[in-house]
Amino acid sequence: MMPSPRSRPKPRPNVAGPATRQWQFDAIGTRWSVEALQVVPPAVWARARRAVAGRIEQFDRDYSRFRADSLVSAMARTAGRYQLPPDAQPLFDLYRELYDLTAGAVTPLVGGLLAAAGYDAAYSLRPGTLTPPPAWPGTLRYEFPHLTLARPVSLDLGAAGKGYLVDLVAGVLRTHGITAYCVDAGGDMAHQGALEADPLAVGLEHPADAGQVIGVAQLRNQSLCGSAGNRRAWAGLNHIIDPHTRTSPTHLRAVWAVADTTLLADALTTALYFVPPPILAAHYVFEYALVYEDFSLEHSADFPAAFFTTPAISAL
């Protein structure tokens, strides 16, 4: 049984420290928790909440494939040269790099493929004919702040967009003087603790049983993102589809990445489905953990978590 979001463990009671504030809401198709890990006056908290809501709304209006009035929906209708939003550079820079590193497996051009698979605005979840996404070269020319489309294309920024929005929301909190926080969008989160505060204990969900965890990460002033196919799954597919095979990868059941930004951690959870970790480790600083189809575990040496496993396999 999948527990409802509300049955998730509540934040640890703050024994010695000041009262914290937590705000939960639904946005961009997932459940959010924005928590201040410090004292925040009510008026400041109210202003910060309004600003966060506005920031998310702006992001959705720019990048959501699921709303007709968004920038990317306009791109899906009309080719040409577009001015990107001011915040677009880190997002598109990373997509461009990962496109090359994963031989096109991580691509923003996957929107049409996801929609054809049934992952569309109406969540029709009925796969139609799946055709490979167009190649980036020849379709997109990216020179920030401009993106030029040779023809109308449906962009999907889901591989990294949510993580990036977590970073942007954290930035909003900081501008309101909230410097100790946890911003969690459905399990993808950024943590910034107060000085000498304990790390955040984050359970790593069992990919086959949402009522269990397979380990506990200790997150301190970093971001943690996870990906697994057990929730957004339909008709043998899930939210990750390999553009080359037009199937969802099945060799991994769950992937986690820890990095300094939620943007990077989120994007790497997708990239790790497609390329061995060392290829990514040559370019980015991150830790990773993978649970394979047979529930075997692989993780980088410094992944900040204690895992629950069968006795260690004999080593060389």
Partner 1 sequence: MNLPTEEKRTPSRLLSGKPHIISLYYIVNKHVTLRDVAVDTPKPRNNQKLAAVFGLVVIVAAIGAGVAFLAPKSDGQVIGGATSPTPTATADATPTAATTSAAYKDGTYTANGSYDSPGGLETVHLSVTLVSGLVSDSNATTTGNNPTGRLYQGKFLGGYKGLVVGRNVDSIKLSRVSGSSLTSGGFNDALAKIKTQAKA
Nearest residue (CB) to partner 1, 45 versus 256: 256
What interhelical angle do 262-271 and 161-175 show, nearest 10? 170
Nearest residue (CB) to partner 1, 84 versus 268: 268
- Minimum CB distance to partner 1, residue 234 (Å): 6
Token pair, residue 239, equals: 């939210």
- Minimum CB distance to partner 1, residue 63 (Å): 16
- Minimum CB distance to partner 1, residue 13 (Å): 10
Q: Which long-range contacts (CB under 8 A, 24 or more apart) does 171-177 make?
A: 172/48, 172/51, 172/52, 172/55, 173/34, 173/36, 173/48, 173/52, 175/51, 176/44, 176/47, 176/48, 176/51, 177/40, 177/44
Q: What is the dihedral of CA 204, 282, 98, 275, to 10 degrees?
A: -60
- Minimum CB distance to partner 1, residue 275 (Å): 8
Nearest residue (CB) to partner 1, 147 versus 254: 254
Nearest residue (CB) to partner 1, 67 versus 146: 67
Rounded Cα gap, residues 186 and 158, in angstroms: 13
Token pair, residue 198, equals: 């304990």
CA distances from 13 to 10, 19, 22, 193, 283 (A): 8, 9, 12, 15, 39
- Minimum CB distance to partner 1, residue 15 (Å): 12
Rounded Cα gap, residues 226 and 293, in angstroms: 16
Nearest residue (CB) to partner 1, 16 versus 313: 313
Nearest residue (CB) to partner 1, 19 versus 46: 19
Answer positive or negative: Cα dihedral of 284, 287, 292, 298: positive
- Minimum CB distance to partner 1, residue 105 (Å): 10
